[in-house]
Amino acid sequence: MAGADTIFRFSHPLRVRWAECDLQGIVFFGRYYEYFDIGMTEYLRALGVAYPRDFLAAGGDLFIKHSECDHQGSARFDEIIDIDTRIARLGRSSIVFEFRVARAGEALANGQIVYVFADPEARTTLALPADFRAAVESFETFDDKE
């Protein structure tokens, strides 16, 4: 799970829009998963990976295996939030993304999504593309590798 001790080398700022909020101007809890998705997409873009095109060209796509979100605070309408994103672990076919949504350095939500790279038709796992693995490994540092 992402936390204060986790090093995020990538962050994407976003202004909270009214459509993401309830009547009190507080971000609806389910929107944090949308923020995680934005973080993942922008992280991959920063690495030079076009999602989903590059994965499909390699014969597979990403499927969610697990997701979680812990809330510590609330973002509000018109605030600038940062979506901190990292890949915490690469397996043979799995990717563990960690996220932190923060306002001025204060964590509002931490999350994790585990994706599995698989054949879209057969739904059988495939090894992650070598060029993707190399791009991630040149950007991130890992404590353990599978």
> Which residues does the chain have with pLDDT short of 50?
1-4, 145-146
The helix, strand and coil proportions of the chain, stated in percent and rounded to the nearest 5, come to 25, 40, 40
Classify 31 as helix, strand or coil.
Answer: helix
- CA distance linking residue 6 with residue 11, whole number of Å: 13
pLDDT attached to residue 41: 97
Q: Where are the alpha helices (DSSP H) in the chain?
A: 31-46, 53-57, 130-139
pLDDT attached to residue 95: 98
- What is the rounded average pLDDT for all residues in the chain? 93
User: Which domains can be identified in the chain, with CATH numbers?
Assistant: 10-139 (3.10.129.10)
Predicted structure pTM score: 0.91
